[in-house]
């Protein structure tokens, strides 16, 4: 599946609108993800322009007041959000006190990755934004939701070309003492 290898983080989006049909298809791909005990513990809110730009600006202003050790890439992420045509905010219905919380976190990761790959296969780009966690409570208030988002996925057509990140190869992953391909 080439889309897996072609997917990369897009940080510059063109103004070209994204069709409702494509967004529906992308979310359907998320729905096809595996989840622990088939819980499907995810919910979404979809925000488009021009509302997204106003919202991203609010997040940006809140991020500007974060202590410097937490600010990192956060302001840059919200500035990119402001120029993306569509944002899918993702919520996890299970709380962190649940014994199986790590399983739910894995499930929601599969949901988001499925959407990113489907976007790629439709010729769209995406950016997975974990920086929303830095303003999560304020984001819930701004979005008008009873729970805070755990991630946001920006979707749109890529403008220009981005520099590709270096990814590890299988040989880099094997824990020392184990044969590369599992034959011992
Ligand atoms: C859980 C998660 C959170 C991320 N959060 C952000 C973010 O807030 N801002 C951002 O610019 N990129 C974010 N990224 C994108 C990563 O920086 C990117 O996936 C990584 O550098 C590898 O690059 P690639 O996606 O182009 O392969 C996030 C990725 C993941 C999986």
Each residue of 109-121: pLDDT tens digit?
999 999 999 999 9
Pocket test for ligand 1, best of 125, 126, 127 (most atoms within 8 A of CB): 127
pLDDT at 96: 80
Structure tokens at 8: 């990369």
Quick check: CB of 9 below 6 Å from ligand 1? yes
CA distance to 15, 31, 80, 85, 138, per residue, from 144 (Å)? 27, 23, 22, 20, 10
pLDDT of 85 strictly over 90? yes
DSSP structure class, residue 9: B
Q: Residue 77 C-alpha to ligand 1 middle, in angstroms?
A: 10
Q: Is the CB of 152 inside a 6 Å radius of any atom of ligand 1?
A: no
Confidence of residue 13 (pLDDT cuts 50, 70, 90): very high
Give the mean pLDDT of 85-97.
92
The predicted model gives 87-93 an average pLDDT of: 97
Measured from the CB, is residue 162 less than 6 Å from ligand 1? no
- From the list 54, 45, 29, 9, the residue with the least C-alpha distance to 156 is 9
User: Which H or E run includes 21?
Assistant: helix 20-31
**CA 164 to ligand 1: nearest atom:** 26
Percentage of the residues of the chain whose pLDDT score is greater than 70: 99
- Residue 130 pLDDT > 80, yes or no? yes
User: Which pLDDT belongs to residue 184?
Assistant: 59
Which residues does residue 154 pair with via DSSP β-bridges, in sequence order?
A: 87, 127
Task: Tell me how far apart the alpha carbons of residues 27 and 14 are, in angstroms, rounded to a whole number.
Answer: 21
* Measured distance between the N- and C-terminal CA atoms of the chain, rounded to whole angstroms: 29
Helices (H), ranges, 49-178: 51-64, 68-71, 74-81, 101-121, 136-143
The answer to whether residue 183 scores a pLDDT higher than 80 is: no
Beta strands 86-92 and 42-48, pairing class: antiparallel
Residue 130 sits at the vertex; the CA angle it makes with 85 and 32, to the nearest 5 degrees, is: 75
Query: Helix 74-81 and helix 51-64: axis angle, to 10°?
Result: 170
pLDDT level of residue 179 (50, 70, 90 thresholds): confident
Q: Is the pLDDT of residue 28 over 80?
A: yes
Q: Which of 54, 36, 52 shows the shortest CA–CA distance to 92?
A: 36
pLDDT given for residue 94 in this prediction: 82
| CATH numbers and ranges of domains, the chain | 2-173 (3.40.109.10)
In 3D space, the residue among 73, 93, 77 whose CA is nearest the CA of residue 153 turns out to be 77
Instruction: Judge if the beta carbon of residue 72 lies within 6 A of ligand 1.
Output: no
Q: Judge contact between 150 and 31, C-beta under 8 A.
A: no
Mean of the per-residue pLDDT values for the chain? 95
For ligand 1, say whether the CB of 98 is within 6 Å of any of its atoms.
no
Best of 129, 132, 136 for a ligand 1 pocket test (most atoms within 8 Å of beta carbon): 129
State mean pLDDT over 152-179.
93
């Amino acid at each position: 599946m080439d889309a897996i290898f072609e997917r990369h983080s897009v940080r510059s989006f063109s103004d070209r609108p994204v069709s409702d049909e494509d967004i529906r298809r992308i979310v359907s791909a998320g729905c096809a993800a595996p989840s622990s005990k088939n819980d499907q513990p995810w919910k979404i809110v979809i925000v488009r322009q021009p509302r997204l730009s106003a919202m991203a600006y609010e997040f940006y202003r809140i991020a500007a007041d974060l202590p410097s050790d937490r600010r990192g890439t956060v302001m840059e992420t919200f500035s990119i959000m402001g120029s993306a045509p569509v944002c899918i905010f993702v919520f996890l219905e299970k709380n962190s006190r649940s014994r199986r919380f790590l399983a739910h976190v894995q499930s929601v990761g599969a949901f988001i990755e499925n959407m990113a790959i489907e976007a790629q296969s439709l010729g769209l780009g995406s950016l997975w934004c974990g920086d929303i966690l830095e303003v999560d409570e304020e984001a819930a208030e701004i979005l008008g939701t009873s729970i805070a988002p755990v991630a946001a996925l920006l979707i749109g057509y890529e403008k220009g070309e981005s520099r590709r990140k270096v990814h590890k190869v299988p040989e880099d992953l094997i824990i020392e003492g184990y044969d590369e391909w599992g034959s011992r």
